[in-house]
Structure 1
Amino acid sequence: MNYFDKDLASLHDDLVNKKMSVRELTQETFANVKATDAKIGAFLTLNEDAALKQADAIDADGVAADNPLAGIAIGVKDNIVTKGLKTTASSKILANFTPVYDATVVEKLTAAKTITIGKTNMDEFAMGGSTETSAFQTTKNAWDQTKVPGGSSGGSAAAVASGQVPVAFGSDTGGSIRQPASFNGIVGMKPTYGRVSRWGLIAFGSSLDQIGPITRTIKDNATVLSAIAGHDKHDLTSSDKAVPDFAAGLNEGTSVKGMRIGLPKEFLAEGVDDDVRKAILAAADTYRQLGATVDEVSLPHNQYGVAAYYIIASSEASSNLQRFDGIRYGYRAQDVKNLEDVYVKSRSEGFGDEVKRRIMLGTFSLSAGFYDAYFLKAAKVRTVILNDFKAVLKDHDFIMGPVAPTPAFGLGDELMDPITMYMNDVLTIPVNLAGLPGLAVPAGFSNNLPVGMQLIGRPFDEGTLYKAGYAFEQNTDFHSRLPKLGGQN
């Protein structure tokens, strides 16, 4: 079983009509993962015994016709805690950590009777844009195994793009769902900040992090977001806004007619690959043909997003990662003489270079004498960027543009150049700073590598993004093209 020619609706029909059992589907899923993952490296930990027991329990109860997720195999990014299933955040410091509780998102998925296949690889503590900072393995792009899958949710994106699972979950702090979805030619949603609970997500930047789904199609993505969204008493930043059925109304008649779309000139400026620019301009023409108006707009302070983000995110990371001290859980250094040795050696040996770099940058930015010059100024820039978005979205239904300036780059090409790596997120970071929803949609190809389009909406208006993405999907064939992995066309 690979999932190239299946969506959630067809899988659900097969299970309801007993064309296959949940156990059979789960067994075939594991068989495919084991057959393909040596080339991809998407999964860190498999959950086979528990998954098969769960499948048997669902088969015994029967798959309800009104539960579209029952029996569906999913992958979970390894910074989302899972009770009894190892969760490492791809870091040596948590190499043997087994949580004692489930994240709220996992609780919701368990209630929906999904099957957790395993935990997916990622950049260490979600810090990276290529899934190369993982302490354990390197994940490859589903389309070309010499290219990166993007990051930090590269394992989740590669698992979906290679047909291993139909749904996987990632976290997005500065583009970590959208960029790997773009690099792998699939759909990724970064919801509005507060739409999905962060309880049980190992924190990187608490004012930026959001959990979201990665799927092959828009409708699947919308179905899953409705299942995981909503207020959570454990997360005071989660919103109590009603969660709509995002997939309802997504059909052949879905239209963008009469919508106004903003296309920022900054999103197509110098530094954006020619093929990426052509794909986005062609997508704009598609929307015009479907009856929408596409205007050139400006987000003048977008250029300051990367600098502001790396100060804010690193400052929050330096605070959040204090809990990894070698005392309460996780890796503890040996050959220590005193308490300070425990702290220093455990962190020095347990954290990778990129994590250390961001802790040091964040600690410096928050230090006495530099707080006003760096952190406070970055916070002010964040507000200015939000105001730019508000001004455009006041008169437009959503904003469109590329997800990343280039298609996937080669493994090892940028790992030793952190500044270049950081600049890959220049188009996604402002969305997190503003707390807005962002949807990555397949929109073209460059030298046989996927190019992704980003749709950015008003707060809690994911529904409009799904409608616009679905209309584009129904009038193009980019989502239906498949990687050559395993002999597909």
Structure 2
Amino acid sequence: MSKSIATDDLFYASLLDVSGMVRRREVSPVELVKAMLERIARLNPMLNAYLLVTADAALDAANTAEAELSRGLWRGPLHGVPIGLKDLFEIKGVPATFATTAYRVLSDKDATIIHRLKTAGAISLGQLHLHEGAFGEHHPALRNCINPWNAAYWPGGSSSGSGSATATGLCFASLGTDTGGSIRFPSAACGVTGLKVTWGRTSRYGVFALANSLDTIGPMARSAADCAAMLEAFAGADPHDPTSLDAAVPAYLQHLDGVLGARGLRIGIDEAYLTAEIDDEVSAAILTVVGAFSEMGATIVPVTVPDRQAACKAALAITDAECAWYHRDVFKAQAEAFGPALRGAIERGLAMDAVALADAYIEKERFRGTIKRFFADVDMLISPIYPKVGLRYDEMEEALRDLYGLIGYTSPYNLSGVPSITFPCGFSSVGMPIGVQLIGPHLSEPMLLKAAHAYQQITDWHRQKPPIA
């Protein structure tokens, strides 16, 4: 690739901008993939964002895309665009590890989402790092993933590699999963945009599970519009996954057309929720977002957020129990292969009292009903993702001892099954990104994407680049 093309401007371009360049034949998918692979080879040893780079497969896919484009076939906005995949999907011929030494699965089939992305013409560059089993922390044998803004800070979890790689120009978008905050944490920590979808909006067939009744799969990218393009390619019902929702997939990108503001949106704000036990810089940044939406024509509605402590406790119990169910056979055979955090979750799940578990599932249904009624009066809720301005790696042990303090703004909305979108809204005094999330009712992804897109039309937080060479 020529030096005039292989620039930071290209690596940090939006997915949709790159898609336009590919479609207009201004850049070849083959040249693009080669440049991305060179960049990964240079930066990934520092970041540890990719666990496996599938260079040969990526180049083969790029050659296929180039041939298709040359004869006038265009599959859509992902055609010929390099992306990254969290390492918990079955991909034909590619080993998946779930970021643990206990698994190495070489599948003869693609997960439904992977099949749909391939059909859309997306090119995978490789498997991205994550917390072991999508829970808690990285496996000690695989080294931590690094936050490109500051190596001392957590890049979020469990989709740490997705956040780090997307923020650093090592892919144009990525797949993440979210069971208790695992798309929203790395999106906030790394300064990217991530969409946690309604439970069942995307298929879980061929996806390693953390907690089956809470897991969701969604896009992470540099903008809400890029997330819309990704989601449009892989959302929808799947006969292989009977829990997937039989609901039509909107034209998410088309829904963004002509968005110049947020007029008509009713955005709920609970001032106590935004200020109590929240760092001042986080509160100030989010209140600035509230002001921006008000200026764009949204109606700001005072609300009281339902109590989340019982819901968070229930979500943790369900996660432990369903995690133990998923891993029980492998754990029985080789418990020593699991790292301490995931091992602890499995052991707690195996030891759980049946009445305590029943209480958790009853609370799940109660909280779902409470949240459904809450959204009768507002279109969305504005919320922090977590209370601190970044979380240092040397603070993680303490944070994991106070899980409610860490996941109290994310996990309850997995329990209720509703969607939320996270996007950057500022920087702290130490130079770490600050994120905000908008939470909406069941299947409100079009509205959430539209709102985030409107905000990103008048701000440039999502265009900032981390200080990495």
Which TM-score applies when normalising by structure 2?
0.94
Match of residue 208 from structure 2: 202
How many equivalent pairs are there?
459
Trace 1:79-118 onto structure 2 (pairs within 5 A). 79-94=88-103, 96-118=104-126
Q: Tell whether the 8 Å contact from 1:403 to 1:454 is kept in structure 2 after alignment.
A: yes
Q: Once the two structures are superposed, what CA deviation does each residue of 1:285-315 show, in whole Å capped at 9, x if it has no partner?
A: 1111111111221223212232111101111
1:120 correspondence with 2:95 = no
Gaps of 5+ in 2: 1-5
Match of residue 37 from structure 2: 30
Alpha-carbon offset, residue 416 of structure 1: 6.0
Match of residue 332 from structure 1: none
Q: Tell whether the 8 Å contact from 1:318 to 1:363 is kept in structure 2 after alignment.
A: yes
1:298 correspondence with 2:304 = yes
Q: Tell whether the 8 Å contact from 1:456 to 1:465 is kept in structure 2 after alignment.
A: yes
CA change 1:264–1:304 in 2 (3 A) is: farther
Report sequence identity in percent. 32
Q: Once the two structures are superposed, what CA deviation does each residue of 1:81-109 show, in whole Å capped at 9, x if it has no partner?
A: 21111110110101x43222211100001
Q: Tell whether the 8 Å contact from 2:132 to 2:339 is kept in structure 1 after alignment.
A: yes
CA change 1:119–1:137 in 2 (3 A) is: same
Match of residue 253 from structure 2: 247
Q: Given residue 308 of structure 1, which amino acid in structure 2 is its aligned partner?
A: A
Q: Which moved more, 1:292-301 or 1:251-260?
A: 251-260
Cα distance in 1 for partners of 2:193, 2:119 equals 24
Trace 1:124-273 onto structure 2 (pairs within 5 A). 124-128=132-136, 131-133=137-139, 135-251=141-257, 253-265=259-271, 267-273=273-279
What secondary structure, in the 3-state scheme, does the structure 1 residue paired with 2:241 have? coil
Q: Given residue 125 of structure 2, which amino acid in structure 1 is its aligned partner?
A: I
Q: Tell whether the 8 Å contact from 1:299 to 1:388 is kept in structure 2 after alignment.
A: no
Cα distance in 2 for partners of 1:220, 1:227 equals 11
Alpha-carbon offset, residue 198 of structure 1: 0.3
Q: Tell whether the 8 Å contact from 1:123 to 1:153 is kept in structure 2 after alignment.
A: yes
Alpha-carbon offset, residue 265 of structure 1: 4.2
Q: Which moved more, 1:457-466 or 1:269-278?
A: 269-278
Q: Tell whether the 8 Å contact from 2:134 to 2:210 is kept in structure 1 after alignment.
A: yes
Match of residue 286 from structure 1: 292
Q: Given residue 165 of structure 2, which amino acid in structure 1 is its aligned partner?
A: A
Q: Tell whether the 8 Å contact from 1:75 to 1:120 is kept in structure 2 after alignment.
A: yes
Gaps of 5+ in 1: 326-342
What secondary structure, in the 3-state scheme, does the structure 1 residue paired with 2:95 have? coil
Alpha-carbon offset, residue 182 of structure 1: 0.5
Match of residue 18 from structure 1: 25
Cα distance in 2 for partners of 1:254, 1:164 equals 30
Q: Once the two structures are superposed, what CA deviation does each residue of 1:12-64 show, in whole Å capped at 9, x if it has no partner?
A: 22212222211110000100111111221100001001111111112112164
What secondary structure, in the 3-state scheme, does the structure 2 residue paired with 1:183 have? helix
Q: Given residue 307 of structure 1, which amino acid in structure 2 is its aligned partner?
A: K
What secondary structure, in the 3-state scheme, does the structure 2 residue paired with 1:170 have? strand
Match of residue 3 from structure 2: none
Question: Which of these residues, 448, 453, 462, is aligned with residue 436 of structure 2?
Answer: 453
Cα distance in 1 for partners of 2:198, 2:44 equals 32
Alpha-carbon offset, residue 422 of structure 1: 5.4
Which TM-score applies when normalising by structure 1?
0.90
CA change 1:421–1:158 in 2 (3 A) is: farther
Match of residue 339 from structure 2: 352
Question: Which of these residues, 75, 79, 87, is aligned with residue 78 of structure 1?
Answer: 87
CA change 1:240–1:135 in 2 (3 A) is: farther
CA change 1:180–1:296 in 2 (3 A) is: same
1:468 correspondence with 2:451 = yes
Cα distance in 1 for partners of 2:298, 2:17 equals 31
Alpha-carbon offset, residue 187 of structure 1: 0.3
Alpha-carbon offset, residue 213 of structure 1: 0.5
What secondary structure, in the 3-state scheme, does the structure 1 residue paired with 2:209 have? coil
Match of residue 380 from structure 1: 362
Alpha-carbon offset, residue 249 of structure 1: 3.6
Alpha-carbon offset, residue 197 of structure 1: 0.1
CA change 1:101–1:166 in 2 (3 A) is: same
Cα distance in 1 for partners of 2:281, 2:237 equals 41
Q: Which moved more, 1:453-462 or 1:266-275?
A: 266-275
Alpha-carbon offset, residue 8 of structure 1: 2.3
Q: Tell whether the 8 Å contact from 1:47 to 1:118 is kept in structure 2 after alignment.
A: yes
